[in-house]
Amino acid sequence: MQKNNNHLVRTISALAAARLFNNMSRRFAYPFIPAIGRALGVSTGSIQGAMATQAGVGIISPIFGPLSELYGRKRVLLLAMALMGLGAVPGIVAPTYGVFYVVMILFGLSKIIFDPAMQAYIGDLVPYHYRGRAIGSTELAWAGSLIVAAPLTGFLLDKMGLSAVFVMLFIASTAGFGLIWYYVPSDKPDKTAQVPNFFEGLKIVRNSPVATAALIYTLLFITANELVTISFARWMETTFDLKLTALGTSAVVIALAEVTGEFMVIGLADRLGKKRLTLFGVLGAALMYLTLTRLSSLTAALVGLFLVYLFVETAIVSSIPLFTEILPSARAVMMSASVAGHSIARFTGGLMGIQIYNWGNFDAIGAVAAALCLTALIVMWGSIHENHSSSTIGAT
C-alpha cells in the first residue's frame, strides 16, 4: 500500500510540475500586455487580440479529445510539451508581431491538448472521493506558473528583450517533456473500447443534460473572469501609474491568491463537496467584481485582486473533479468539451473586454462580470447534482 501511495504521489507531482511549465506559455504575457505591445511596435489592443486568439484556439479541443483514448494519455502529454517547445523557436528567431501571433496559437494548441489528457489520466487513476485533492494538487501549477513566469518575464523583457522570454519558455517545455518521459507511467488504451470520433463526441455531450449545463456554466463564469483578466493590467497601469516591475508584483499577488484557492480545494472539496465549494467561489467572485472597481488606493486594489482570484480559482478547480465524473465512459471527450468551453469563453471575454473597457472603463467590466457570475451560479445550482454517497453526477 505504501509503495502504491508513493508511486501515486510521484506521478501526480510529475504531472503538476509539467503542467506548471506548460502553463507558463499561457500566462507569461498577461501582466505585460502594454510592454509587449511597445516591444513589438503595436498597440495594446493588438496584443490583447493575440491573447484572445490564443484562448480561442481551445474551441477545437474536442478534435483532440479522442487522441488520448486511442493512443494513451502519456503519449498525448508528450506531444503537447513538444508542440510548446517547437512553438517557442520562431519567437526566439524572429520576434515580430506576426510571429508572436502565430506562436500564441501554437502555445494555445499545446495547452488544449495537454489539459484534457492530464485530467483524464487522473480520472482513470484516482477514485472520485479523493479526486478533489489530486486535481487540486495539479492545479497548483496554474498559480505556480504565474509566480515563476511573471518575475522572469518582467526581468527578461526589461533587460534582454522578447526573444529571451521565448528562450525561457523553450527551456520550460524541455523540462516538462523530460518529467513526463521519466516519471509518468505509460498507459495502454483499451483496444476493445469504441472510441468516439469528433462528431460522435459532440453528440454524446449534447445528449447529456448535465454535460450541457456544465458547459453553459463554464461559458458564463469563464467569460466573466476573462473580462477582468484581459483588462486588469491596463487598469492598474493607468489608475496607479505602475511601472513594469510593479505590474509583475501585482501578478504575483494574483498567483498567491490562486495558490490559496487551490489549497482550499485540496483541503475541503472532498469533505464538503465539489459543488458546494464551486458555488461558494462563484458567489464570492461576483461580489468582488462589484467591489474591485470602487477601490481607490493601490493597497486596497491589490487586496481586492487577491480576493477576486481566490474565489475564481476555488470555483474553477473544485468544478474540475465534478466534471470528470459527468461522462466517465467518455472522460477525455467531456474534459475536451470543457476546455473548449473555457476557450470560447476566454476568446469571447477577451474581445468583449477590449470593447467594454473602451466604452465604459473598468466600472463597466466589473458590472458585466458580476452579472455573468450570478447567472452561472443559477445554472450550477439548478442543473447539476452531486451524489455524496456515490460518484454519480446527475441532474436535479
Comparing 88-97, 128-137, 167-176, 238-247, the range with the smallest average pLDDT is 238-247
| Strands annotated E in the chain | 385-386, 393-394
Q: Look-up: residue for cell 494555445? A: 108
pLDDT for 396 equals 41
pLDDT beyond 50 at 1: no
pLDDT for 314 equals 95
Please state the rounded mean pLDDT for residues 311-322: 93
Closest CA relative to residue 224, chosen from 65, 348, 63, 54: 348
- In three-state secondary structure terms, 110 is helix
Instruction: Between 82 and 362, name the one with better pLDDT.
Output: 82
Q: Which residues contact 251 (CB under 8 A, 6 or more apart)?
A: 30, 31, 146, 150
pLDDT 10s digits, 58-67: 788 888 877 7
Its sign, for the CA torsion 366, 367, 368, 372, is: positive
- With bands split at pLDDT 50, 70 and 90, how would you rate the model's confidence at 29? confident
Burial class (CB in 10 A: 0-12, 13-18, 19+), 224: buried
With a pLDDT cut of 70, the percent of the chain lying above it is 92
Q: Tell me the longest C-alpha to C-alpha distance in the chain.
A: 61
pLDDT 10s digits, 322-351: 888 888 777 778 888 888 888 788 878 888
Domains plus CATH for the chain?
Answer: 2-185+194-394 (1.20.1250.20)
Instruction: Please tell me what DSSP assigns to residue 385.
Output: E
